[in-house]
């Protein structure tokens, strides 16, 4: 038996667009009185983020 295919990671932009189109998720959070302004909730297994893409072509300085 083969392994189950893993979902392809989303870019941060794609995740934020996906999150913005999910009003029921926002209602669930707001219904619990959680202040969410200015925060990004990282997705669960449903939408893994490709965090390496955020730093693509970024040169890091060494201390």
**Residue 47 domain-assigned (yes or no):** yes
Specify the pLDDT at position 32. 47
Domain assignment present for 45: yes
pLDDT, residue 39, reads: 55
Residue 58: per-residue pLDDT = 72
d(CA 26, CA 41): 10
Total domains, the chain: 1
Domain that residue 13 falls in: 7-20+39-54
pLDDT of residue 57: 78
Residue 31 placed within a domain: no
Look at residue 34 and tell me if it is in a domain.
Answer: no
The residues with which 10 forms a beta bridge, in sequence order, are 49
Task: Please report whether residue 62 resides in a domain.
Answer: no
Would you say residue 14 lies in a domain? yes
Over residues 2-44, the pLDDT tens digits come to 566 666 666 777 777 777 776 655 554 444 444 455 555 555 5
26, part of any domain: no
């Amino acid at each position: 038996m083969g392994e189950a295919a893993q979902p392809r990671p989303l870019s941060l932009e794609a995740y934020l667009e996906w999150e913005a189109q999910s009003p029921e998720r926002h209602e669930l959070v707001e219904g619990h009185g959680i202040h969410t302004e200015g925060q990004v909730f990282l997705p669960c297994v449903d939408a893994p983020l490709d965090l390496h893409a955020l730093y693509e072509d970024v040169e890091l300085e060494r201390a």
